[in-house]
Amino acid sequence: MVDKLRPLGDRLFVARLGSEEKTQGGLYIPEGSKEKGQTGTVLAVGEGRVDNQGKVIALKVNVGDKVFFGKYAGTDVDDKHLVLREDDILGVLESK
């Protein structure tokens, strides 16, 4: 199902990047205590948001972008994928 999902409107289909394996002090976090990551890679984007005049406004996020989103943002599809609105994206992670 995941490979055939096409988001609509201003929604994005995102693959979560891994969460932290260790604490800053070097202790390993048990699998059941890990929090879901708040970063991911955009796999697919919808056609855009429709304004009040019916004009489609293209999204600012593109396929392949690495994004940072809120802790409780979006809807989980499975453990590694979720669907977000563009408004749920807090920022795009730039590579150096």
* Tens digit of each residue's pLDDT (9 = 90 or more) over 8-64: 989 999 998 875 566 667 776 666 655 577 899 999 999 988 889 989 898 999 999
Number of domains in the chain: 1
pTM, two decimals, is 0.78
* Tens digit of each residue's pLDDT (9 = 90 or more) over 22-38: 666 777 666 665 557 78
CATH for 87: 2.30.33.40
- Average pLDDT, stretch 79-96? 89
Q: Which long-range contacts (CB under 8 A, 24 or more apart) does 83-89 make?
A: 83/5, 83/7, 83/11, 83/12, 83/13, 83/14, 84/11, 84/12, 84/14, 85/10, 85/11, 85/12, 86/10, 86/11, 86/12, 86/49, 86/59, 86/60, 86/61, 87/10, 89/12, 89/61
Instruction: Supply the range of the domain harboring residue 65.
Output: 2-93
